[in-house]
């Protein structure tokens, strides 16, 4: 193959390469900004596209996903003249590839500088304590300010977060001492509450113990009274049973005397002896029927006579 053949082959390959470069596929979540002869021609979205060779070119590939920009700490001064350093994180998304491409020279640098100035303006109206406790307020104000400022650049700021607030060393030491004192105070309060609860539980235990002892004493007294009552009842029943047996024995003796043919005087004397046993020395007066009184006086006189004779 001569020189002409090589030249034709090179030309064919070059034509094929140029022809292939005219076909473009835009992936998902991206957009291509197309320029024609140096001027904006259009924005390609997701899909297959064909451009004119040597006339059209892809000026910029734009990522449409939500992106995160983490900026280094920026020095700021509070309303009470305390200098601190704050680093921020910005969540943003490109909504207009054309404005993003032609709106500002360096969008990220512009957002960083805008974030720093906006942060200084907001912190400058707050004191140190408000700055440390108002993160949500600061985030909301910064997001609103950045969203308005970046709208002409085709950028939407979705969220702004204060990543870290770094106060001066002396402020940090004072805060640590305050936190330590507060922690010790809470621990002291916790210990005092624990001791109070322990005393309350101890008092309740003593009260419950006293109540139980009183209940036990009460039950014991009741049982003793019932036992004493039962004892007295049994003693009374025993005495009554003894008297009944004595009477039964006397009645049986009188019956036997009658069966043996004893006269009426003997029977009446036996009755008197039965009355004497019933009294058992405990009664001072015994009421006798009229017919027994004469016999009783005769028996007494007879007993007295026998005693006198025995004495003489």
pLDDT in tens, 58-72: 899 999 999 999 988
- Residues 103, 150 within the same domain: yes
Q: Residue 274's pLDDT is what?
A: 54
- Residue 118 in domain: yes
* Count of the separate structural domains present in the chain: 2
Which residue would you say has higher pLDDT here, 78 or 260? Answer: 78
pLDDT tens-digit map of 209-237: 888 888 888 888 888 888 888 888 888 88
How many helices and strands (H and E) does the chain possess?
8, 9
- Residues 108, 129 within the same domain: yes
- Residues 53, 129 within the same domain: no
| CB neighbour class for 92 (10 Å; exposed up to 12, middle 13-18, buried from 19) | buried
Domain boundary among 167, 189, 205: 167
Q: Is the pLDDT of residue 279 over 60?
A: no
- Residue 287 in domain: no
Q: Residue 302's pLDDT is what?
A: 43
Q: What domain range includes position 91?
A: 66-167
Strand ranges of the sheet holding 30-36, from the earlier edge strand across to the other edge: 39-44, 30-36, 56-63
- Domain with residue 102: its CATH number is 3.30.479.30
- Asked if 64 and 93 count as a contact pair (C-beta separation under 8 A), the reply is yes
Q: Residue 159's pLDDT is what?
A: 93
- Residue 79 in domain: yes
What CA–CA distance (Å, rounded) separates 244 from 236? 12
- Residues 53, 111 within the same domain: no
CA dist list (Å): 206 to 17, 154, 213, 218, 230: 100, 78, 10, 18, 36
* Cβ neighbours of residue 152 closer than 8 Å, sequence gap 6 or more: 99, 103
* CA dihedral of residues 52, 53, 54, 58 (deg, nearest 10): 70
- Residues 30, 109 within the same domain: no
> What integer is the mean pLDDT of 121-135?
86
Q: Residue 35's pLDDT is what?
A: 92
Domain boundary among 147, 167, 187: 167
In this prediction the pTM is: 0.53
What CA–CA distance (Å, rounded) separates 57 from 48? 15
Q: Residue 228's pLDDT is what?
A: 86
What CA–CA distance (Å, rounded) separates 76 from 85? 6
- Residues 36, 117 within the same domain: no
- Residue 183 in domain: no
> What integer is the mean pLDDT of 7-28?
81
- Collapsed DSSP state (helix, strand, coil) of residue 52: coil
Q: At what angle do helices 169-260 and 264-279 cross, to 10 degrees?
A: 170
What's the mean pLDDT when you consider all of the chain?
80
* Cβ neighbours of residue 276 closer than 8 Å, sequence gap 6 or more: 286
- Hey, which bits of 39-97 come out as E strands? 39-44, 47-50, 56-63, 66-70, 74-77, 83-94
- Residue 78 in domain: yes
- Residues 21, 99 within the same domain: no
φ, ψ of residue 4 to 5 degrees: the values are -65, -40
Q: Residue 1's pLDDT is what?
A: 55
- Residues 102, 59 within the same domain: no
**Terminus-to-terminus CA distance in the chain, angstroms?**
197
- Residue 55 in domain: yes
What CA–CA distance (Å, rounded) separates 292 from 5? 182
Q: Is the pLDDT of residue 292 over 50?
A: no
Q: Is the pLDDT of residue 305 over 80?
A: no
- Residues 78, 116 within the same domain: yes
- Residue 291 in domain: no
Helix (H) or strand (E) holding 186: helix 169-260
CA dist list (Å): 189 to 59, 178, 238: 68, 16, 72
- Residue 105 in domain: yes
For the ranges 142-146, 237-241, 299-303, the one whose mean pLDDT is highest: 142-146
Domain boundary among 45, 63, 81: 63
């Amino acid at each position: 193959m001569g020189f002409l053949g090589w030249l034709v082959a090179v030309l064919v390959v070059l034509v094929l390469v140029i022809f292939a470069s005219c076909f473009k596929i835009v992936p998902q979540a991206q957009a291509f900004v197309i320029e024609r002869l140096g001027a904006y021609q259009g924005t390609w979205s997701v899909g297959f596209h064909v451009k004119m060779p040597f006339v059209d070119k892809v000026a910029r590939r734009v990522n449409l996903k939500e992106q995160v920009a983490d900026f280094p700490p920026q020095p700021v001064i509070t309303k009470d003249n305390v200098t601190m350093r704050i680093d921020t994180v910005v969540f943003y998304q490109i909504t207009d590839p054309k404005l993003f491409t032609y709106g500002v020279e360096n969008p990220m640098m512009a957002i960083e500088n805008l974030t720093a100035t906006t942060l200084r303006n907001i912190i400058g109206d707050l004191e140190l304590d408000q700055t440390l406790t108002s993160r949500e307020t600061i985030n909301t104000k910064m997001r609103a300010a950045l969203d308005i400022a970046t709208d002409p650049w085709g950028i939407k700021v979705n969220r702004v977060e204060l990543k870290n607030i770094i106060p001066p060393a002396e402020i940090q030491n004072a805060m640590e001492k305050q936190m330590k004192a507060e922690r010790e105070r809470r621990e002291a309060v916790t210990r005092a509450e624990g001791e109070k609860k322990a005393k309350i539980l101890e008092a309740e235990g003593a009260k419950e113990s006293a109540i139980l002892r009183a209940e036990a004493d009460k039950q014991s007294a009741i049982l003793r009274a019932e036992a004493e009552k039962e004892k007295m009842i049994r003693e009374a029943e025993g005495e009554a049973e003894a008297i009944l047996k004595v009477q039964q024995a006397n009645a049986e003796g009188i019956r036997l005397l009658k069966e043996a043919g004893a006269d009426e005087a003997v029977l009446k004397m036996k009755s008197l002896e039965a009355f004497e046993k019933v009294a058992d020395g405990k009664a001072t007066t015994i009421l006798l029927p009229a017919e027994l009184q004469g016999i009783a006086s005769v028996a007494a006189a007879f007993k007295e006579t026998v005693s006198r004779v025995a004495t003489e």
